C-alpha cells in the first residue's frame, strides 16, 4: 500500500462500503462584498482545490478563515452557486446541485431544534416528514426513532424537552446527538457536519466523534469540518484534508500526515499533539530544518509543496480516471421530490406549531390575558356611555380611537414570528422537510388565527357591552369583525416585515414607522382635507382610517344623541366627518381592510421564499 493511501485503522469492523465517493476538481469560490451600496473587490475563499472523499471518516481541518467550512458547504450544495467561479463536484460520478440536500444529510454547527419539543418529538417530526407514508407506516417510523434514540444514547433524555430561554432542557452533547439523529432518520449514505465538536467539552466531543466513527464503519461517507481536535479524536480520522488560506496543504490518510510533514524537516515536540503540530505548521509557528517553507510574495509555499507531491499526483490521476469513465454520460443528478404530500406536510407542521404555541405561555396564554385585561380596562373607563351630548360623541370617538390603536400596536409582537424561527425554517426547508408554502400556511392556520382572532373576539365581547354600545347582536358582530380585520391587517404588515429582515431592531423600526404614519393620516388626529390636503391620499393606505370609519358607521347609524335643546342623529355626525354611512360605505371599509391583509400576506410569502438560504 502506497504512502498516504486511504486506509482504515480497523478493517475488521468495516463493512462493505455503501457510501458514495465525492470528488471535486479545481474549485474556485469567491464572494462579492458590498459596503454602502459599493462593491468591494472579490474575496477568494477557495483557490483551485481538488480532492476525493471516500466512505469513512473524512475530516477537513484548518485554522479559522482557512476555508474548511466553505469547502464543506460547496461539497454539500449549501453555498450560493453564483460564487462558484469554476470547478465541479461529483457524487458517484454525477454532478449535483442543491437537490443533493434531499438525498444526503447536513448537520449545522449550531444545533437547530424546536426547544419546546422533546428529543423524541423532534426525531418523530423529522421521520414523519422525511419518510414516505406509502413506504413507512406510523409504527415503522416510531420503531426507527426508537432505534436511533438507542444508538445515539439518548434513552435517558428521550422525553425531555430540548429547552428554550424559559425552559431548562437537555445538555449540549445531547442536543448535538439529537441534531445528528434528525438527519439519520432517512439513513443517508452521505453525511456532512459543520464543526460537530464546537462548544462541547472534551469528553462529549470524543463521544460525538466516536458515534460518527461507528456510522462510518457501517459504510457511510462522513465528511466534516473541525478546528483543532484532541489526539483521541484525530486518531479516528481515516482521511485528512488540511487547509490554509483557501488552499489544500495536505490531503491523504490521516495517519500519514505526520510523516508527510516530517519529510519536509518539521519535527514534532515530545508530548505535542499532531493536530496542534499541524496548526503550528500552517500558522508559521513551526520551522522546517531542511528549507524555508514560508509564504513568499503572497504564495502559500505549503500548498505549492503539496501540489508537487506524489499525493496530489495520485489525486489528479484518479480524478482524470473518474472523468474519463463518465465522459458522454448525463452527469446531472435528477431532482428528488419531497417524501410527503402537501396536505400531509400541513398536518404535521401545523401539529408542531400548535404544540409549540401551547408550550409557550408567554406567547399564547399571555396574549389572551392581556386582551382580557385591556378589555376590562376599556370597559371601566368608558363604562355605559350615555346618549347625552356632548359626552356621547366625545367618549365614543375617544373609545374607538383607543380601540383601533390597541388593535394595531398590540400586534408588534408578530414581527418576532419568522425572525425567531428563521434559522429553523432555513435549515428544515433547505433539507427538504417541507415546502415554503406549508410553513407559511401553518403559521396562518395554527398560529395567527387562534392566537390573534380568538383573543380579539373575547376582547370585543367584554368591552362592547361594558361600554354600552348598540345592544343589537348584529351590531356586535360587525364591531367584532371590524376589530378582527384591523388586527389581522396589522399582523399582515408585521408578517411582511418579519419575513423581510433578520433582526428585531430593524423589524421594530420598519413596523413602527408605518403604523405611526397610518395613525397620523387616519383622519382622527388631523383633518387632511383642510390642513394637509396634498397628503390626503395617504388615508387610502391607513388601517386606522378604514377601522375608525367602520366602527363609526356601525355605532352611529340609527342613533339619536340629545341634550336639553339639541337633537343630533348619528347620520348627521357621520356626514360632518365626510363618512359614507350607507351599507356599502361600511362594507367598503371592511373590504379595504381585507385587501390590505391579502396583499400583505402575499408579499410576506414572497419575501419568505426570497430568504437567502445560502451560506
| 120 falls within a domain | no
Question: Which one of 87-96, 263-272, 302-311, 510-519 scores highest in mean pLDDT?
Answer: 302-311
Q: Residues 352, 281: one domain?
A: no
Model confidence at 525, pLDDT cuts 50, 70, 90, reads low
Q: Residues 530, 584: one domain?
A: yes
Name the percent of the chain lying above pLDDT 70: 86
> Which set of grid coordinates corresponds to residue 310?
506524489
Q: Residues 528, 578: one domain?
A: yes
| 399 falls within a domain | yes
Q: Residues 245, 347: one domain?
A: no
Domain boundary (325, 358, 391) is at: 325
Q: Residues 302, 199: one domain?
A: yes
Q: Residues 490, 369: one domain?
A: yes
Beta carbons of 242 and 250 less than 8 angstroms apart: yes
What was the pLDDT predicted at 366? 76
> Which set of grid coordinates corresponds to residue 422?
428563521
Q: Residues 321, 346: one domain?
A: no
What was the pLDDT predicted at 92? 82
Name the percent of the chain lying above pLDDT 90: 31
pLDDT tens digits, 42-75: 788 899 999 999 999 999 999 888 889 999 999 9
CATH of the domain at 229: 3.40.50.300
Q: Which residues have C-beta within 8 Å of that of residue 411, sequence separation ≥ 6?
A: 452, 487, 490, 491, 494
Beta carbons of 222 and 188 less than 8 angstroms apart: no
- Mean pLDDT lowest among 164-168, 209-213, 326-330, 407-411: 326-330
Which strands, in side-by-side order, build the sheet including 239-244?
105-107, 190-194, 221-226, 56-62, 239-244, 247-253
| 372 falls within a domain | yes
Taking CA atoms, 601 is separated from 195, 476, 615, in Å, by 37, 27, 27
Q: Which domain holds residue 96?
A: 11-104+188-325
Domain boundary (290, 325, 360) is at: 325
| 192 falls within a domain | yes
Q: Residues 296, 382: one domain?
A: no
Q: Mean pLDDT, the chain, as a whole number?
A: 84
| 335 falls within a domain | no
Q: Which residues have C-beta within 8 Å of that of residue 464, sequence separation ≥ 6?
A: 476, 479, 480
| 3 falls within a domain | no
| 161 falls within a domain | no
Domain boundary (325, 360, 381) is at: 325
pLDDT tens digits, 68-123: 999 999 998 888 888 888 888 888 877 765 555 566 888 988 878 998 999 999 99
pLDDT tens digits, 323-366: 666 554 444 444 456 888 999 999 999 999 988 888 877 666 77
Mean pLDDT over residues 286-299, rounded?
Answer: 57
Q: Residues 224, 259: one domain?
A: yes
> Which set of grid coordinates corresponds to residue 421?
424561527
Q: Which residues have C-beta within 8 Å of that of residue 176, sequence separation ≥ 6?
A: 111, 196, 200, 204, 208
| 274 falls within a domain | yes
Model confidence at 14, pLDDT cuts 50, 70, 90, reads very low
Q: Residues 367, 261: one domain?
A: no
Model confidence at 299: pLDDT above 90: no
Q: Residues 357, 264: one domain?
A: no
Q: Residues 306, 372: one domain?
A: no
Domain count across the chain: 2
Amino acid at each position: 500500500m502506497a504512502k498516504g493511501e486511504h486506509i482504515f485503522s480497523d478493517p475488521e469492523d468495516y463493512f462493505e462500503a455503501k457510501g458514495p465517493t465525492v470528488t471535486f476538481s479545481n474549485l474556485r469560490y469567491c464572494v462579492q462584498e458590498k459596503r454602502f451600496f459599493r462593491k468591494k473587490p472579490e474575496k477568494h475563499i477557495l483557490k483551485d482545490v481538488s480532492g476525493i472523499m471516500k466512505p469513512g471518516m473524512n475530516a477537513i481541518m484548518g485554522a479559522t478563515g482557512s476555508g474548511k467550512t466553505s469547502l464543506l458547504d460547496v461539497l454539500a450544495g449549501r453555498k450560493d452557486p453564483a460564487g462558484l467561479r469554476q470547478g465541479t463536484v461529483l457524487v458517484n460520478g454525477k454532478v449535483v446541485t442543491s437537490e443533493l440536500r434531499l438525498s444526503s444529510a447536513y448537520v449545522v454547527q449550531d444545533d437547530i431544534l424546536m426547544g419546546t419539543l422533546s428529543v423524541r418529538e423532534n426525531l418523530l417530526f423529522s421521520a414523519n416528514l422525511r419518510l414516505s407514508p406509502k413506504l413507512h407506516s406510523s409504527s415503522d417510523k416510531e420503531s426507527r426513532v426508537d432505534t436511533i434514540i438507542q444508538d445515539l444514547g439518548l434513552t435517558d433524555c428521550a422525553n425531555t424537552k430540548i429547552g428554550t430561554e424559559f425552559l431548562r432542557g437537555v445538555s449540549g452533547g445531547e442536543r448535538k446527538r439529537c441534531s445528528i439523529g434528525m438527519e439519520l432518520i432517512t439513513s443517508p449514505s452521505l453525511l456532512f457536519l459543520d464543526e460537530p465538536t464546537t462548544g462541547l467539552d472534551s469528553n462529549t466531543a470524543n463521544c460525538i466523534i466516536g458515534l460518527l466513527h461507528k456510522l462510518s464503519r457501517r459504510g457511510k461517507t462522513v465528511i466534516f469540518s473541525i478546528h483543532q481536535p484532541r489526539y483521541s479524536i484525530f486518531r479516528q480520522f481515516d482521511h485528512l484534508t488540511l487547509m490554509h488560506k483557501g488552499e489544500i496543504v495536505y490531503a491523504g490518510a490521516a495517519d500519514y500526515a505526520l510523516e508527510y510533514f516530517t519529510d519536509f524537516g518539521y519535527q514534532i515536540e515530545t508530548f505535542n499533539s499532531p493536530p496542534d503540530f499541524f496548526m503550528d505548521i500552517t500558522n508559521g509557528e513551526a520551522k522546517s530544518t531542511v528549507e524555508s517553507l514560508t509564504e513568499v510574495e503572497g504564495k502559500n509555499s505549503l500548498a505549492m509543496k503539496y501540489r508537487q507531491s506524489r499525493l496530489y499526483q495520485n489525486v489528479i490521476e484518479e480524478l482524470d480516471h473518474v472523468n474519463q469513465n463518465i465522459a458522454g454520460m448525463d452527469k446531472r443528478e435528477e431532482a428528488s421530490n419531497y417524501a410527503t404530500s402537501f396536505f400531509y406536510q400541513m398536518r404535521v407542521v401545523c401539529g408542531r406549531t400548535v404544540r409549540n404555541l401551547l408550550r409557550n405561555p408567554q406567547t399564547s396564554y399571555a396574549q389572551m390575558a392581556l386582551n382580557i385585561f385591556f378589555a376590562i380596562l376599556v370597559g371601566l373607563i368608558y363604562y355605559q356611555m350615555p346618549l347625552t351630548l356632548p359626552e356621547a360623541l366625545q367618549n365614543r370617538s375617544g373609545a374607538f380611537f383607543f380601540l383601533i390603536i390597541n388593535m394595531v400596536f398590540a400586534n408588534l409582537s408578530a414581527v418576532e414570528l419568522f425572525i425567531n424561527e428563521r434559522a429553523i425554517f432555513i435549515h428544515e426547508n433547505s433539507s427538504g422537510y417541507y415546502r415554503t408554502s406549508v410553513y407559511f400556511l401553518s403559521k396562518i392556520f395554527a398560529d395567527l388565527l387562534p392566537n390573534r382572532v380568538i383573543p380579539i373576539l373575547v376582547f370585543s365581547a367584554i368591552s362592547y357591552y361594558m361600554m354600552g354600545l348598540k345592544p343589537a347582536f348584529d351590531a356586535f358582530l360587525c364591531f367584532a369583525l371590524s376589530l378582527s380585520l384591523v388586527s389581522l391587517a396589522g399582523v399582515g404588515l408585521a408578517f411582511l416585515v418579519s419575513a423581510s429582515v433578520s433582526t428585531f431592531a430593524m423589524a421594530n423600526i420598519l413596523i413602527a414607522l408605518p403604523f405611526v404614519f397610518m395613525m397620523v393620516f387616519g383622519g382622527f388626529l388631523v383633518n387632511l382635507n383642510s390642513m394637509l390636503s396634498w397628503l390626503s391620499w395617504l388615508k387610502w393606505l391607513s388601517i386606522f382610517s378604514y377601522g375608525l370609519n367602520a366602527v363609526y358607521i356601525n355605532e352611529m347609524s340609527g342613533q339619536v344623541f340629545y341634550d336639553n335643546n339639541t337633537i343630533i342623529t348619528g347620520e348627521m355626525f357621520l356626514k360632518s366627518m365626510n363618512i359614507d354611512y350607507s351599507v356599502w360605505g361600511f362594507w367598503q371599509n371592511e373590504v379595504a381592510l381585507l385587501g390590505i391583509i391579502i396583499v400583505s400576506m402575499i408579499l410576506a410569502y414572497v419575501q419568505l421564499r426570497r430568504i437567502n438560504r445560502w451560506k
